[in-house]
Structure 1
Amino acid sequence: MSENRLRVDIWSDIACPWCYIGKRRFESALKLVDFAEDVEVHWHAYQLDPSLPEHYHGTEQEYLSTVKAMDPQQVAGMLAHVTEQAAAEGLAYDFDRVQPANSFSALRLLEFAKQRGAGDAMKESLLAAHFVQGANVGDHDTLVQLATEIGLDPQDAAAALADGSYTDEVNADIAQAQQLGISGVPFFVLQGKYGISGAQPAEAFAQALRTVHAEL
């Protein structure tokens, strides 16, 4: 590990399918560079749909078709496409099981984990739970179980979720995204000055990392 640390700030939502794909592609990019140990990743909260209830009683396709007023055939094609893209990254999305839910509690839990050095593990767990396992990530008991599975204290996690802890931190992340003009996620900021929007191919991430690292 060198003194030239490369900071990468990533805004994403655990209810964003492209965010999980982007996470995998970025991880693949790190395997393509010889300074991966010098890259510091910092996760930031973002909400695609703050208006979602804690749990929407319906499928992802029904939610997008009914609540978002999207054409059902268009939705089906979109979900099929993103499932195919996810599969190419080794992710087995199952939109028939996905439970649409407000992500704010999950984002608070992510902040809880970040402050205990387990941010990346928690991010991975939340994304997998939502898109692969069909878990209800708006449910506090489910979130406590996920936190426990990565080694965090279940009582502390339950207390943090119950009393609204980390609300300010999540809102601050969202406000910062607005200040930066971020309107979609995932969004990557390298060394505080280079922005990359979307789930780019691994080589594109790797080239950006090489360029910024060379400037350090």
Structure 2
Amino acid sequence: MKIEVWSDIACPWCYIGKHRLDTAISSFAHADEVEVVWRSYQLDPDAPRVTDKNLNQTLSEKHGISLAQAVAMNDKMRRMGAKEGLIYRFDVARYGSSFDAHRLIHFARTHGLQSAMQNRLFAAYFGEGKALGDHATLLALALDAGLPELEVRDVLASDAFADQVRADAEEARQLNVRGVPFVVIDRKYALPGAQPVEVIGDALRQAWSETHPLGDFTAAADADGYCEADACKLPS
């Protein structure tokens, strides 16, 4: 079974979505036969590489709301993340481009470390105030994920995997992906948004039963887990 996930490190719902997907797969009877491929998607392709603005300030400016309103919106997200055991600190998370981080995620796949790279980037961005566009920071995070230093340096010093990042974005447009996370199972089922673990598990079993038929099965979908936060929508 092949699962493809379009996501952005800068998307708070994607962090929750990855955690839920990992949880669902860990309890799936055929987990050892599941391949997960992380696809690139940028919510803001025009973001500057590095800024000093935190995500509360960015949300306020982008949507023309007060800083207090932005803090309240992000605090709701923070509480939801806490229920999943994830740390969000929107007061220190720094707005900036995720393009080079996506290049590293593609590189990590060549070493079988995509998931580890994703997890390290999410935790660093949302919980530690690390800048996704800073190469020294990305190098340190890649080493934390277990990637070889010299190869990481070569990737960051070049445009390696840039074409793959752009190709993922183009394919997302062809698939009419309008928000992330967006999960595709065996190119048959699509799960938009950070679906509950139970819904993901049902979809995994449904997809598996179709290629390994053992009986009838019907998955129940629930829209409650769909992306709702403005931060997970395409910029207008």
TM-score by length of 2: 0.86
In structure 2, how many angstroms separate the alpha carbons of the residues matched to 1:97 and 1:206?
Answer: 34
Tell me, in whole angstroms, the C-alpha distance in 2 between the residues paired with 1:74 and 1:180: 34
Structure 1 residues 181-216: Cα deviation after superposition (integer angstroms, max 9, x where no partner): 001000000111211000011001111111111111
DSSP-derived class of the 1:195 partner: strand
Q: Which residue of 2 aligns with 1:7?
A: 2
2:19 pairs with one of 21, 24, 40: 24
* Larger CA deviation: 62-71 vs 87-96: 62-71
Deviation of 1:34 (Å) = 1.5
The residue type equivalent to 2:190 in the other structure is G
Structure 1 match to 2:105: 110
2:150 to 155, 158, 181: 155
Number of the residue aligned with 2:205:
210
Aligned amino acid, residue 44 of structure 1: R
Identity over aligned residues, as a percent?
41
Aligned equivalent of 2:217: none
Higher relative contact order (CA 8 A, sep 6+): 1
In structure 1, the residue matched to 2:81 is: 86
AA at the equivalent of 2:36: V
CA distance in 1, matches of 2:63, 2:137: 26
Report the Cα distance in structure 1 between the residues aligned to 2:171 and 2:69, rounded to whole angstroms: 32
AA matched with 2:49: E
Instruction: Report the RMSD for the aligned CA atoms in angstroms.
Output: 1.3
Three-state SS of the structure 2 residue aligned to 1:131 is helix
1:179 aligns with 2:174: yes
Aligned residue pairs: how many?
211
Deviations 1:92-143 (A, max 9, x none): 1111110111000110111111122211111111111101121111100110
CA distance in 2, matches of 1:63, 1:184: 19
Q: Distance in 2 between matches of 1:88 and 1:108?
A: 30
Query: Once the two structures are superposed, what CA deviation does each residue of 1:10-48 show, in whole Å capped at 9, x if it has no partner?
Result: 000011110010011111212332122121111000000
| In 1, Cα distance between equivalents of 2:75 and 2:5 | 26
Q: 1:190 to 1:57 in 2, by over 3 A?
A: same
Q: 1:3: which partner in 2?
A: none
Structure 1: segments with no counterpart, 5+ residues: 1-5
- 1:191 is aligned to 186
Please tell me whether residue 135 in structure 1 is matched to residue 130 in structure 2: yes
* 2:117 is equivalent to residue 122 of structure 1: yes
Query: Partners in 2 of 1:134 and 1:154 — Cα distance?
Result: 22
| Structure 1 pair 108–70 and aligned structure 2 pair: CA distance change class (3 A) | farther
TM-score of the pair, normalised by structure 1 = 0.93
Counterpart secondary structure, 1:23: helix
Find the aligned partners of 2:151 and 2:25 in 1 and give their Cα distance. Answer: 33
On the 8 A contact 2:57/2:70 being kept in 1, the answer is no
Distance in structure 1 (CA, Å) of the matches to 2:157 and 2:101: 12
* 2:159 aligned counterpart, secondary structure: coil
